[in-house]
Structure 1
């Protein structure tokens, strides 16, 4: 759908989805983990959401693409939704939802560092270079303040591990996004491609759960109602609404504008975690969050100017 033909109300709803809904999925993951092991949770989420989208596409008469397109969609889906979302889910066993959202807010920095084809534009700009320095300073500060807060607890080591896994998740999300950008055949519908990504990610998560023993320890009859609620929310709002909104928006709006969700998601996640799970965050950690977001803002200033022009 072309930008000028997109209903304004639908665009606004899509932005609300990636601003608000994505911020709340971190808490939904925490609820899901009350009854599901991490990769079992990711497997259910991906297989169910992906199957729904593919069945919808086939019912409308769309044809499955060739093996090359299915392969590229699967690779990008596994990188983004297993390497990214799956690792977030695993890390939230040890890191609260607000912390997870803060670390994932570093994704724009890795887009700059890993998108080699754009290095000439990125690293010749003072705003980008300054933003990178500010942003990574914020990351270091957040890690430091988080470890200082947890230094007296027995889980301090796993907290650090969880944060490092989250950082790896942010990197893999970016790698998957860039792979999709440069390798994926965009002649097929966004719904079909997204369905393939989700289904591949769900199946791969199921394999990981098999090799790590999660399926052997999982008993579906003992899953609590809050955990089922978390899974349902992740499928409907996280995957079918927010993820679809994101993949649609980047086709009709400047990426610099769509990426503003990285400013809002951590704030929403922190507020939701505080309100519904009594998650605590210190003033120093909030300061580190503001430093990270300032770095993201600086790195995007050239894109904002270009979009405005």
Structure 2
């Protein structure tokens, strides 16, 4: 599958999961919903791996790295996202999550010695500015202590997800099988959320409403198995720094769906932010330097190198 299609699949699916998650709020604790989602997703993915004849036997060291990826990417970070959204609007959480782009750039530099090129910094910067413009009205409302707690949880979620990206990059670099490592990671991440639910004294209940069940199936099958498989495949091909830009594009999709189903009011900030983020997408993913050189703008192309 081409890189562009992988990017589109991950972006469109994750952009819709923001809406799907709202159907899970209610009688089930957030950490329990995270546990149900990733335990189901991991089981489905490993069953698919069995049918495909994938290598499922991991050494203890390999399993430990897959587990680390799972705890960071599928467990604790998602629990923090749910906790953050108890205190702040989902739009602000989207802004905080987009900071993962810069975290990935710095992390790749520190962990793997990857240079931070001007193109990546420009694309990431435009993306974050664009998201901030889109949700500027919500950003202005962060004043109460509860809101700042939500901001702290949101930034912590982005940081842990970024560390999970680095673990995934390391697993890809050493040739760890992609789908089995994701499957094991999801089981470990879901188990982490389950243990937290039990230890924190929250009731482990089930919601039999059709809306909850359909949301769970969508989040597990599409939002977890398919989207993460596409994203982590992309990560293995182009690195965590560039693939992490999905975190900037996802809120734009979520915004469009919110306008359709939740009555989100468009403003001038919205249009300017989307334009800015879209330009960042083009710079980050396309070979802009080559395009500029073909048109005789060699000096400008060199400035992006």
Structure-2-length-normalised TM-score: 0.77
Bigger drift between 13-22 and 187-196 goes to 13-22
Distance 2:57 2:289 in 1: 40
1:85-104 alignment, distance < 5 Å: 85-104=78-97
Question: How far off is 1:70 after superposition?
Answer: 0.8
Q: Does 1:110 align with 2:103?
A: yes
Secondary structure in 2 aligned to 1:121? coil
- Other-structure match for 1:179: 167
Bigger drift between 84-93 and 188-197 goes to 84-93
- Other-structure match for 2:138: 146
- Aligned counterpart in structure 1 of residue 115 of structure 2, from 100, 108, 121: 121
Q: Summarize the Cα distance change of 1:147–1:15 in structure 2 as closer, same or farther, 3 Å threshold.
A: closer
Q: Once superposed, what is the RMSD of the aligned Cα atoms?
A: 3.7
1:258-273 alignment, distance < 5 Å: 258-273=243-258
1:131-280 alignment, distance < 5 Å: 145-149=137-141, 156-182=144-170, 186-214=174-202, 216=203, 218-220=204-206, 222-253=207-238, 258-279=243-264
Secondary structure in 2 aligned to 1:36? coil
Q: Summarize the Cα distance change of 1:234–1:136 in structure 2 as closer, same or farther, 3 Å threshold.
A: closer
Q: Summarize the Cα distance change of 1:308–1:119 in structure 2 as closer, same or farther, 3 Å threshold.
A: farther
Q: Summarize the Cα distance change of 1:113–1:268 in structure 2 as closer, same or farther, 3 Å threshold.
A: same
- Other-structure match for 1:3: none
Contact kept, 8 Å, 1:51 with 1:199, in 2: the verdict is yes
Bigger drift between 52-61 and 236-245 goes to 52-61
Distance 1:307 1:64 in 2: 46
Q: Which has the higher contact order (CA 8 A, sep 6+)?
A: 1
Gaps of 5+ in 1: 1-5
Deviations 1:119-152 (A, max 9, x none): 6722xx555666777777778888975353466x
Bigger drift between 157-166 and 227-236 goes to 157-166
Q: Summarize the Cα distance change of 1:57–1:196 in structure 2 as closer, same or farther, 3 Å threshold.
A: same
- Other-structure match for 1:32: 24
Gaps of 5+ in 2: 294-305
